[in-house]
Amino acid sequence: EVQLQESGPGLVKPSQSLSLTCSVTGYSITSNYWGWIRKFPGNKMEWMGYISYSGSTSYNPSLKSRISITRDTSKNQFFLQLNSVTTEDTATYYCARVRRVWGWYFDFWGPGTMVTVSS
Amino acid sequence: DVVLTQTPPTLSATIGQSVSISCRSSQSLLDSDGDTYLNWLLQRPGQSPQLLIYSVSNLESGVPNRFSGSGSETDFTLKISGVEAEDLGVYYCMQATHAPWTFGGGTKLELK
């Protein structure tokens, strides 16, 4: 079965960069698409972006030039980097697989990792 | 960006009751390829979101058939025919027709 696991620091200082890793087992990241989603305190969810099986990326324009999603196929991992963070980036961050069969949807999710931006 | 408005924001139900959640889109979610990319997810307390329904009405594998989805263009509905205790949590609609993909604000299903 496909399993995803996020990892990274739980606390980041304002203006610094947030870096997270998503480790995938049970499926190769050279197939399908792989995304990052975050949930803010309360219920608001935001799609941040994804990386494709070929390495191409798509990002939410709201994140402008702050976001980068990359991958290491040898380790079957993909990464999120978010630059110049503020307290508004405090959220639980999820990685997920995007399935592209009869639609576009997130079918497997990691458990999520909470990131707090604070000095 | 496409705005998805879910109603009600909170839903109180008894076990066995049938309930519906509405998701209204600010734009038609009918894609140029003829498909409609509107999905439903459930986030149980302390868990990550789980896919229930994809492309309006397709039940994800392993999801009980008491869940059903319907709708078109801008109006969509998730129905639970006979709520069970394990159904409690926050329900989200999500669209992937227009970039950027967006989520509704969530509907919290509680026990009455």
- The rounded mean pLDDT for chain B is 97
Place of tokens 């109006």: B75
**Inter-residue contact B90 to B42 (CB < 8 Å):** yes
pLDDT mean over B81-107: 97
Question: Is the peptide bond preceding residue B45 cis, with omega within 30 degrees of 0?
Answer: no
pLDDT of residue B107: 98
Report the chain B residue with the minimal C-alpha distance to residue A107.
B51
Confidence check: pLDDT of A41 > 90: yes
Confidence check: pLDDT of A64 > 80: no
pLDDT of residue B95: 98
**Whose CA is closest to B37, among B19, B21, B20, B58?**
B58
Task: Give the total residue count for chain A.
Answer: 119
**Burial class for B48, CB neighbours closer than 10 Å (0-12, 13-18, 19+):** buried
pLDDT of residue B83: 97
- The rounded mean pLDDT for chain A is 97
The strand ranges marked E within A3-104 are 3-7, 11-12, 18-25, 33-39, 45-51, 57-59, 67-72, 77-82, 91-99
User: Over pLDDT 70: what percentage of chain B?
Assistant: 100
Residue A103 distance to chain B (closest CA, Å): 6
pLDDT of residue A101: 84
Chain B positions contacting chain A at CB under 8 Å are: 1, 35, 37, 39, 41, 47-51, 54-55, 58, 60, 90, 92, 94, 96, 99-103, 105-106, 108
| Contact criterion met (CB < 8 Å) for B49 and A61 | no
CA distance B82 to A98: 30
Q: Is A116 helix (H, G, I), strand (E, B) or coil?
A: strand
**Inter-residue contact B56 to B70 (CB < 8 Å):** yes
Q: Which helix (H) or strand (E) holds B53?
A: strand B50-54
Place of tokens 């000095």: A119
Structure tokens at A36: 């990052």
Q: A residues 32-71 near B, CB within 8 Å? A: 43-47, 58, 60-62
pLDDT of residue A102: 84
pLDDT of residue A23: 98
Q: Is A64 helix (H, G, I), strand (E, B) or coil?
A: coil
- What is the per-residue pLDDT across B41-77, written as a single tens digit (0 to 9) for each? 999 999 999 999 999 999 999 999 999 999 999 999 9
Q: A residues 78-97 near B, CB within 8 Å? A: 94
Q: Which of B101, B102, B103 to mutate to test the interface with A (most CBs of A within 10 A)?
A: B101
**Inter-residue contact B48 to A109 (CB < 8 Å):** yes
**Whose CA is closest to B44, among A111, A47, A72, A5?**
A111
User: Over pLDDT 90: what percentage of chain B?
Assistant: 97
pLDDT mean over A55-74: 96
